Structure 1
């Protein structure tokens, strides 16, 4: 599922993967439900953080 994405993705790509809006994506990042980091202003998210989130919430 995530093979087509780089190891570190943007918020826009996060929205595409999870089929969510930008506001929800930022909420997930700001509440550490998905681990990410900021380089300057834009957020960066690792694929492993998304995979972890999906596994934890698929139970």
Structure 2
């Protein structure tokens, strides 16, 4: 099974729409067998932007 989680600065990130990366985990028999970090290439409604608000005029 492959699981994708939002990822930023080496940690799971709480806001899906603002993350610049995803960590992909391959799981086999309940164990993580591999991990890969992939970028979003700037897609998403604010990917990589960290103002924390939609009122900053950059969304």
Identify whether the pair has TM-score above 0.5, normalized to the shorter chain. no
RCO higher in structure (CA 8 A, sep ≥6) = 1
More helix by share: 1
Q: Normalization by structure 2: what TM-score?
A: 0.31
Q: Normalization by structure 1: what TM-score?
A: 0.31
Larger Rg: 1 or 2?
A: 2
